Structure 1
Amino acid sequence: MTVLTTTDSAEKAQELARGAVEARLAACAQISGPVTSVYHWRNAIETSQEWQVLFKTTEARYPSLEAHLTTVHDYETPEIIATPVVRGSAGYLAWIRQETTER
């Protein structure tokens, strides 16, 4: 499973990525950006620069990852979107399971 969130600085993106990987909520996190986001917020259309963080995790660890992101994220309503991995190499998927196992 991949999980996407966004934040408003590279430093915050690195903190979100590192925190989730250290807690074994994700095996890996990739940061992309900046990207331009255009969205409705409080009756206005906003445009801002954001950094995307894409986490690689398992379905079993998703609830804990979502709870973690909700707690540590500074956005009032953070984007947290999960997408199932339909296919992947057996070795890579095994590595994700291994690295997200609580120890």
Structure 2
Amino acid sequence: MYQLVLTTCPNETVAKNIAQQLVTEKLAACVNIIPNITSVYYWQGELQCDNEVQLLIKTDENTFAALNKRINQLHPYDVVEVIALNIQQGDKHYLNWISNSLK
């Protein structure tokens, strides 16, 4: 099954580094970098409101474990958001491209 993996980064430099590493290492077919999102959450008992960069990562379930490990190696956060959503449907040509890009 194909997956869309979400993670956030503290800035565009970190985001681009992670994106490039994942694609170069064939852990992701494509990574979209979306700057200037705002995340609101509690961390260590305090309410946080931070400007972050969202990554949308296209991969498959067979690659997820290695992708998750690599993101955690490259990421500066203590607790890294790595959430995988299964892609139920998609254009067959695009999904085939994902498969071919991960080889």
For 1:62, the aligned partner's letter is: F
Q: Per-residue deviation at 1:54?
A: 0.7
TM-score with structure 2 setting the length: 0.96
1:73 to 72, 75, 93: 75
Secondary structure of 2:60 counterpart: coil
Counterpart of 1:59?
61
Q: Per-residue deviation at 1:63?
A: 0.7
2:45 matched to 1:43?
A: yes
The structure richer in strand per residue is 2
Q: Per-residue deviation at 1:76?
A: 0.2
Counterpart of 1:17?
19
Counterpart of 1:93?
95
TM-score with structure 1 setting the length: 0.96
Q: Per-residue deviation at 1:71?
A: 1.1
- The list of structure 1 runs, each at least 4 consecutive aligned residues, that deviate by more than 6 angstroms after superposition, is none
> 1:14-41, CA deviations, whole angstroms, 9 ceiling, x for partnerless residues?
1110010000000000000211111000
RMSD: 0.6
Secondary structure of 1:33 counterpart: strand
What is the rounded CA distance, in whole Å, between the counterparts of 1:43 and 1:6 in structure 2? 20
What is the rounded CA distance, in whole Å, between the counterparts of 2:56 and 2:18 in structure 1? 10
